[in-house]
Structure 1
Amino acid sequence: MAGTDPQVEKFLQALVEELVIPVSRYEQAETSYKSLGDWFHRPESSVRNFGPAVYVQGSFRLGTAIRPINDTEEYDIDSVCELRTLTKSDLTQFDLKQLLGQEIKAYHDAKGMTKPVREGRRCWVLSYANGAQFHMDVVPALPNGVEQKLLLERAHFDPKWADSAIAITDRDVPTYRLRSDIWPRSNPKGYGEWFRSRMASILLRQKQLLVESLRRQGITASIEKLPDYRVHTPLQAAVMLLKRHRDNMFASEPDVKPISVIITTLAGHSYGEQDTIAGALYSILEGMDRYIRHDGTKYIIPNPTDPFENFADKWEREPRKAEAFFRWLEQARQDFARVARATTLQSMNEAVGVRMGTALSERAVRRVGGSSGGLLRAASAAPAGAVPTFGNAPRVPTTPKGFA
């Protein structure tokens, strides 16, 4: 039956292996934000007494980072610096951003970094040397867990993820220079935990298998100490494939390109704990638009950790973004359905080569053709339920998983 051929799974695995960033990149990101955290805690630091905590967010936190399309692009490492003993009543957003900015600029100078520190709308940007091929966005933040939990409870939403919520700076909001309780909100740790919860059982199984493999090689390892980024679940793999497909499809239309957090959120909701990449991918493509609501005026894709935040808020003002998303989804369904129906590696390559990248897809074909095991272990057949149909039946919006 189409979609159950183990060679389809091997081809998808090979595509993912071509997208996976080296472990050294994750280690490099970890080293970079820990180094900045150490700087904030040095004796001379002006923020040392405010409990600075630096941590990564975004795709590096979720394990869905992918290689840049070409060598001229940089890895974007998104991080947060949270001053844990300060509150919104202590200073303005502007004050917080300048306070962190002074320390970040001092770090830049002390480390002999040549590219200037740049100020973004919400963050400071540290650009590393050309050979490093990455930059780090540092978002200033304050704790906001107590306020967020009260906000959600009053509205009868589940506050499960609220404890790690933060307040962040945004120079475009009216209250940026005012002492106010009204700050932009975020919760990267909570979002990361939500995403992890959608794949928790298979993540544990994969880490167990890797630990056993390492031990057989005489390498000491434990599940507790093994970083999540050492394995990739079918959910993470599917998100990576969809992000690259999106990147190439909108290479000439970057202003309407569907944003990663929308793809990741809808994928997380649609994933049904499949244990193959094919099963996960086709389940996600079949179901992800079921988690987009429309209230008669606008599209709504709520943040799983903060239902008051609508990830599709720009779609109302810029309808082209909504059109682009649904156009991309239909194209992804067509392309990966062709992969599922394909009977040869070459026909799989032809199905997605244009939008996955011809060179990348051809490398995946060679990887499968020359595989004798290793990373491309034999895949079990995808369940019958994974066979893509992608019909045009009308969608009935449902409540996304993880909401009250």
Structure 2
Amino acid sequence: MYFLNNKTAQIDDLLARAAEKLQLDRTRREKIESSYKAIQEVLENDPDFFDTKTFEIYPQGSVRIGTTVKPLSRNEFDLDIVLHIQGRVYEQTDPMRIFNELKRVLQGNGTYKDKVESKTRCVRLNYADNYHMDILPGCQHSADDENKIVIPDRELKEWLISNPRGYAKWFLNKAETIKMTLLEKAYEAEEIPSDDFAAKKPLQRAVQIIKRYRDLFFEETPDYATSSIVLTTLAGQLYQNQDSIFETIDGIVSQIYGQVNLSRLKRIKVLNPVDSDEDFTDKWGKEPKYYSEFIRFVESLYKNWQKLKEDNGIVEESNILKGVVGENIYSDSVKQQTLITEDYRQKGKVFSSSATGALGSKVVSDKPVKKNTFFGK
């Protein structure tokens, strides 16, 4: 079996399974989609402001680019959506008007009135059952770029430029440079039906795993955890079109580690790839503790990944991976992988090398392994 013969493919299989367990399942995705479609309908029926506007609502952030990760300590997802009003409405509208009109409609609706919370740039709906939704209101900035919007800032009381849809397009274009993942190739070679998890791009999986390690690393000090937008942007900028999740993470983390060590006296900057005037890491300049904690995090992940590249044996590798994705997630992923291996064994497709006794596929071995009936027969 290919991922029994190839260490990188074997780890990729485990990482993909772990990431799959961390993300939104289909039921929750469908529930979230129905939630923001319901909000669009409520706004369309508003007779005082939104009925005269053309707008759409769409997800942004990790939901849009496929990099969601379930929080550690709670069964809750954060959903970020955009209320994108078409046309240059902002030129005749005070920044706070859009924000206040959105809040007014939601507070006046029986379904949402007790869920509304004002944030700096969005209106939050706190759902009781397992997630909250942040609605970012914005207006199209110009006719030249339908993705670029201006959004109101409650503290500054002015319009700020944003481009969440443009950012998602940038990231997904990076991810799609690989047409077939290492796992897809491995499953195809072994004539195993490929689950959807094998097709998800290495860059998306890498971001999920890096974010998961971030959550574990900062579990005791969550206030200093590096933001997802910084990690996602770095990953997209440093991705070198690897078809393997393991090699993608290795390449990204090694480059970040190198940049940090070359810039000890001056912090690195992570700029918005679709708006270079926006520094996602401006907080690092104002509060250096965030940057020093980022360095600690990068150094820790880098050292762990270097250990994985060595021949430490299955026990040490298991301990490292447990530390990266969490013990329960790792254990469940190993169980799934074992079931596939056992299925291969039952079909007589796993062979034992007459020279080493190691398990493998027909490609590298020559002695069939007896079927395991679990009854000693």
Range class of TM-score, shorter chain: 0.7 to 0.9
Which is worse superposed, 285-294 or 300-309?
Answer: 285-294
Cα distance in 2 for residues equivalent to 1:169 and 1:271: 33
Structure 1 counterpart of 2:133, one-letter code: M
Cα distance in 1 for residues equivalent to 2:330 and 2:79: 26
Cα distance in 2 for residues equivalent to 1:337 and 1:123: 41
Question: Residue 20 of structure 1: CA displacement?
Answer: 2.9
Higher relative contact order (CA 8 A, sep 6+): 1
The answer to whether 1:256 aligns with 2:224 is: yes
Conserved in 1, the CA contact under 8 Å of 2:8 and 2:246?
no
Cα distance in 2 for residues equivalent to 1:41 and 1:78: 20
Structure 1 counterpart of 2:286, one-letter code: R
Q: Partner of 2:249: helix, strand, or coil?
A: helix
Cα distance in 2 for residues equivalent to 1:247 and 1:102: 35
Question: Residue 337 of structure 1: CA displacement?
Answer: 2.3
Cα distance in 2 for residues equivalent to 1:285 and 1:295: 16
Selected match of 2:134 from 104, 121, 137: 137
Q: 1:58 to 1:36 in 2, by over 3 A?
A: same
Aligned equivalent of 2:41: 38
Q: Is there any run of 5+ residues in structure 1 with no aligned partner, and where? A: 150-161, 177-181, 214-227, 379-404
Cα distance in 2 for residues equivalent to 1:38 and 1:296: 52
Selected match of 1:95 from 80, 93, 97: 97
Q: 1:246 to 1:336 in 2, by over 3 A?
A: same
Structure 2 counterpart of 1:63, one-letter code: G
For residues 106-153 of structure 1, what are the alpha-carbon distances to aligned partners after superposition, in whole Å with 9 as ceiling and x for unaligned?
A: 34x1x3x574311111111112232xx11110011111145xx7xxxx
Conserved in 1, the CA contact under 8 Å of 2:115 and 2:127?
no
The answer to whether 1:49 aligns with 2:52 is: yes
Conserved in 2, the CA contact under 8 Å of 1:52 and 1:84?
yes
Aligned equivalent of 2:204: 236
| Correspondences of 1:357-368 after superposition (within 5 Å) | 357-368=326-337
Question: Residue 76 of structure 1: CA displacement?
Answer: 0.4
Aligned equivalent of 1:275: 243
For residues 213-237 of structure 1, what are the alpha-carbon distances to aligned partners after superposition, in whole Å with 9 as ceiling and x for unaligned?
A: 9xxxxxxxxxxxxxx9995210000
Selected match of 1:310 from 264, 268, 279: 279
The answer to whether 1:14 aligns with 2:9 is: no
Which is worse superposed, 30-39 or 296-305?
Answer: 296-305
Aligned equivalent of 2:356: none
Identity of aligned residues (%): 26
| Correspondences of 1:52-67 after superposition (within 5 Å) | 52-67=55-70
Aligned equivalent of 2:123: 124
Q: Partner of 2:309: helix, strand, or coil?
A: helix
Selected match of 1:74 from 68, 76, 79: 76
| Correspondences of 1:19-30 after superposition (within 5 Å) | 19-30=22-33
Cα distance in 2 for residues equivalent to 1:230 and 1:128: 32
TM-score by length of 2: 0.78
Cα distance in 1 for residues equivalent to 2:222 and 2:139: 32
Q: Which has the larger radius of gyration?
A: 2
Runs of 4+ in structure 1 over 4 Å off: 2-5, 228-231, 289-298, 342-345
Question: Residue 5 of structure 1: CA displacement?
Answer: 4.4
Cα distance in 1 for residues equivalent to 2:146 and 2:116: 31
For residues 333-386 of structure 1, what are the alpha-carbon distances to aligned partners after superposition, in whole Å with 9 as ceiling and x for unaligned?
A: 111222332555432221132342222222222222333399xxx9xxxxxxxx
Selected match of 2:256 from 270, 284, 288: 288
Question: Residue 40 of structure 1: CA displacement?
Answer: 1.7
Structure 2 counterpart of 1:362, one-letter code: S
Conserved in 2, the CA contact under 8 Å of 1:105 and 1:117?
yes
Which is worse superposed, 294-303 or 278-287?
Answer: 294-303
Conserved in 1, the CA contact under 8 Å of 2:16 and 2:198?
no
- Cα RMSD after superposing both structures: 3.1
Selected match of 2:340 from 362, 366, 371: 371
Q: 1:344 to 1:365 in 2, by over 3 A?
A: farther
For residues 237-283 of structure 1, what are the alpha-carbon distances to aligned partners after superposition, in whole Å with 9 as ceiling and x for unaligned?
A: 00000001000100111221100011000100111111111121111
How many residue pairs are counted as aligned between the two chains? 328
Selected match of 1:187 from 154, 157, 163: 163
Conserved in 1, the CA contact under 8 Å of 2:24 and 2:69?
yes
Cα distance in 1 for residues equivalent to 2:6 and 2:211: 21
Conserved in 1, the CA contact under 8 Å of 2:79 and 2:134?
yes
Q: 1:119 to 1:195 in 2, by over 3 A?
A: same
Aligned equivalent of 1:153: none
